[in-house]
Each structure stands twice: as C-alpha cells, then as structure tokens.
C-alpha cells in the first residue's frame, strides 16, 4: 500500500544537511516517478540517484514546454529506459515566466498523478511574487492526485503563506534566521521548541508530523 501523500518542508541553512536529505528522499520515496525542479544540477541529488534513469530538461527564457506528454513519455517510453526522474533546471525566467512554467508543471502533474514533486530552493519559486494561483491551489489538494510535494529551502519566511499553512511534515535542520524561527514557532505549531532548531549541530534534524504537533519531546536525529 502506498503511503498517504504528504506536503513536506525540508528547511535548513547552507551546509546544514538539507540538500543531502532532499537527494536521499528523491532516491527512496515510494512514488514510482519523481520530478525535481532546481536552478542547477545539484551534486547532492546526483549523489543519490541513478543518473542513467534521469531525464534532464532545461527551462529558460529561450523556451520551455512542460506537458503531460513529456511526463508520460519519460515514465513509459522504452527508448528512455523507463526513467524514474525528470530533473528540470530553471534559469533566467522573469516572474511572469516562472508563473507560466509553474502553471504548465501543475497541469502536467495533475494529468500524470501518483508521483513526487520536489521543488529545490523553494523560496525562489514559491514566494509571494512567483507562486502562481495553480500552485497555491494544488498544494491544498495534491493528496487527491497521489502527489507528494517536497519544498526545500533555507528561507521559510519567503514562502507564500498559503503553501506554508498546508505543510503536513517538517524536516528541520539548523537555521538561525529569526523570521524563519518565528514562523516555526507561531504559525507551524512548534512554540518554544522552535528555539531548538537554532541549536542543532550540522547534519542533525528534527522531524515533526503536524498532525501531532504536541506529541511530547522531539528528539534530534542525525543523517
């Protein structure tokens, strides 16, 4: 049986371990197909993934086309060796182009269903300026399509509040950004426990299931 889809936040400052955790999640998640959206081919992902099973696509101001056909071709076309990953690198898009890209992506994901979508550097795609209405709405209902959403960022405060409020699970590495700690404490139910995030050693993290925000003491784990 497949796990219930989740909206996951992976938060942490640079070199805290968040990118390593995101790459590990991409490799081990139970969905048959994984889409990664990033500004670059991050070695933290490629370290964990079987590169021969990745299809790389570039979305730039020169052009992009993210369609249901592209997703299904990547998943099913024997000539592509049944690739499991679609890795989309995004560069030099204007805010309006980012919104158009996201709209295409959400529509394709809805049509394809039963997959995981990882948005790396999510504060660049999911902030108040760039997040499109389709993405905001999809975050609320992704579970109906069997889609796991994973947002990876070092700037939680910049992510649109409509996306923050539907997060179901938090993977928290060290951050000392005051506004991010305030969001964790006041808006994501951590209360006084948010202060512990600033004290985490490198590669240690807290895992929070927001369905049980007050479930006793949360213990730090190491990658």
What secondary structure, in 3-state letters, does the chain show?
Answer: CCCCCCEEEEECCCCCCHHHHHHHHHHHCCCCCEEEEECCCCHHHHCCCCHHHEEEEEEECCECCCCHHHHHHHHHCHHHCCCCEEEEEECCCCHHHHHHHHHHHHHHHHHHCCEEEEECCHHHCCECCCCCHHHHHHHHHHHHHCEEEEEEECCHHHECHHHHCCCCEEEECCCCCHHHHHHHHHCCCCHHHHHHHCCCCCCEEEEEECCCCCCCCCCCEEC
**Is the pTM here over 0.85, yes or no?**
yes
Structurally, the chain folds into a number of domains equal to 1
* Domain assignment of residue 82, yes or no: yes
CATH of the domain at 162: 3.40.50.300
Q: Which domain holds residue 181?
A: 7-214
pLDDT, residue 219, reads 64
pLDDT band at 126 (very low <50, low <70, confident <90, very high): very high
Q: What is the mean pLDDT of residues 122-143?
A: 94
Using the predicted structure, report yes or no on whether residue 19 has a pLDDT greater than 70: yes
Using the predicted structure, report yes or no on whether residue 79 has a pLDDT greater than 60: no
pLDDT, residue 1, reads 39
Mean pLDDT of the chain: 90
* Domain assignment of residue 221, yes or no: no
């Amino acid at each position: 049986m497949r796990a219930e889809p989740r909206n996951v936040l992976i938060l942490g400052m640079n070199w805290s371990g968040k990118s390593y955790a995101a790459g590990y999640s991409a490799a081990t998640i139970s969905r048959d197909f994984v889409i990664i959206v990033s500004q670059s081919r991050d070695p933290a992902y490629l370290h964990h993934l079987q590169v021969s099973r990745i299809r790389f696509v570039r979305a730039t101001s020169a052009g992009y086309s993210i369609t249901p056909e592209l997703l299904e071709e990547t998943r099913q076309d024997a000539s592509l060796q049944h690739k499991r990953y679609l890795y989309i690198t995004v560069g030099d898009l204007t805010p309006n182009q980012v919104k158009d890209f996201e709209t295409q992506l959400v529509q394709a994901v809805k049509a394809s269903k039963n997959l995981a979508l990882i948005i790396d550097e999510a504060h660049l795609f999911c902030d108040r300026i760039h997040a499109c209405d389709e993405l905001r709405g999809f975050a609320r209902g992704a579970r109906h399509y069997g889609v796991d959403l994973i947002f990876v960022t070092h700037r939680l405060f910049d992510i649109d509040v409509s996306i923050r409020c539907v997060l179901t699970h938090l993977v928290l590495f060290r951050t000392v950004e005051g506004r991010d700690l305030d969001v964790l404490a006041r808006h994501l139910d951590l209360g006084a426990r948010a202060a512990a995030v600033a004290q985490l050693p490198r590669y240690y993290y807290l895992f929070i299931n927001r369905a049980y925000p007050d479930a006793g003491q949360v213990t730090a784990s190491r990658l």
